[in-house]
Amino acid sequence: MELVTGFWSFKTFAAAVELDLFTRLAGGRTLTKEQIGLPERPADLLLAACASLGLLERDGDGYRNSAIAEEFLVRGKPYYFGGQVTYCDQRTYLPWHRIGEALRTDRPLTWDPATQESMFDTADPQMLSTFWDAMYSTSVFTARALSETVDLKGRGRLLDVGGGSGAYDIELCRTHPDLKATVFDLPHVCEIAAAKAAAAGLSDRIGTAPGDFLQDGQLPGGYDVVLLSMILHDWDEATNRRLLAKVFAALEPGGLVIVSELLLDADRAGPAPAALMGMNMLVETVAGRNYSNAEYERWLADAGFTGVRTVRFDAPGANGAVLGVKP
């Protein structure tokens, strides 16, 4: 029954984010059902449902944010996660209703490969903005977990391949004061990353390098760390192996590659977040799927990396990272 009614929880959650309920309750504020601007019955039902999900707590005659809502669902907070909620609600929720079609045809549902070059080829700038907000909100907390798990002490220059809005670079540079980072992504994405770095006060340590990691013959060189975060699950094995070869060539001797992903177990029977993200790749990509750490370890070894190993952590965008060193 929990599986059957899972969408009830999500849509309740998404509606509360759409109404900006948690931002209105920021800072310990308490509101009653008469004060949230909805008719009495739906207000009562929404507040009770959000409390049941652990997003709100009862406080006398009203409700206030739970600790998790206060940290992650208040707009403007460093780890605001509402972008991901909004993206899934507006972009992927309805296409997921046609998952049977995707299983039968092996074609994405959120865009049309026959008429569009990629999922980013859209005339809707608001949807692209929502996408990048979602990626940032997922990445920023995942980056903090990665920074606490992978030791980059002594590393000086990091290349973030497909780095998007630069969330990983901001968190890693905050944790490692001697580190400088470069976001390598499409030109319009680099503009977003530059703005995020400036807002974080890190423009002097985070730069951008416009390019296309699939089409360009090589990646920028001279780096002692290359990060691939939530990138390789978008592509098939052959594409990923070609990209890892470019990474190997770009790294300085002794350089470290980091593949950060929701990793499947070697038997491909879980964990559920990684397996279900794989299903989402069916909905959103032409050839993407989630891979096991054993597969990534093999690909890195085949590309020439040594000391290949997996480290684990718990975060929304990844449950671990596969590391390798260029001899």
Same domain (yes/no): 171, 65:
no
Residue 141: per-residue pLDDT: 87
**Alpha carbon of 63 to those of 37, 167, 193: distances in Å?**
14, 32, 37
Same domain (yes/no): 39, 96:
no
Note whether residue 288 is domain-resident.
yes
CB-based burial label for 173 (10 Å; 0-12, 13-18, 19+): buried
Using CA atoms, how far apart are residues 71 and 97, in angstroms rounded to an integer? Answer: 31
Note whether residue 43 is domain-resident.
yes
Q: What is the pTM of this model?
A: 0.93
pLDDT single digits (tens) 116-162 = 877 666 656 777 778 888 888 889 889 999 999 999 999 999 999 99
Residue 122: per-residue pLDDT: 61
Q: What is the mean pLDDT of residues 56-72?
A: 96
CATH number at residue 149: 3.40.50.150
Q: Give 92's pLDDT tier (boundaries 50, 70, 90).
A: very high
Mean pLDDT of the chain: 94
* Mutual angle of helices 40-52 and 6-18, in 10-degree steps: 120
Same domain (yes/no): 154, 215:
yes
Task: Tell me which residue of 43, 25, 76 sits closest to 199, measured CA to CA.
Answer: 76
CATH number at residue 17: 1.10.10.10
Same domain (yes/no): 112, 237:
yes
Same domain (yes/no): 65, 118:
no
- What sign has the CA pseudo-torsion 142, 278, 15, 67? negative
Same domain (yes/no): 211, 231:
yes
Note whether residue 77 is domain-resident.
no
Same domain (yes/no): 23, 100:
no
Using CA atoms, how far apart are residues 96 and 277, in angstroms rounded to an integer? Answer: 12
Same domain (yes/no): 188, 301:
yes
26 contacts: CB under 8 Å, gap ≥ 6: 65, 70, 74
Range of the domain at 41: 6-72
Q: Tell me which of 97, 176, 188, 233 is the catalytic residue.
A: 233
Q: Which two tokens stand for residue 279?
A: 């299903």
Total domains in the fold of the chain: 2
Note whether residue 1 is domain-resident.
no
Same domain (yes/no): 58, 189:
no
Which among 72, 93, 109 is the end of a domain? 72
Task: Give 246's DSSP letter.
Answer: H
Annotated active-site residue 97? The verdict is: no
Same domain (yes/no): 106, 167:
yes
Same domain (yes/no): 255, 298:
yes
Same domain (yes/no): 215, 252:
yes
Which among 28, 46, 72 is the end of a domain? 72
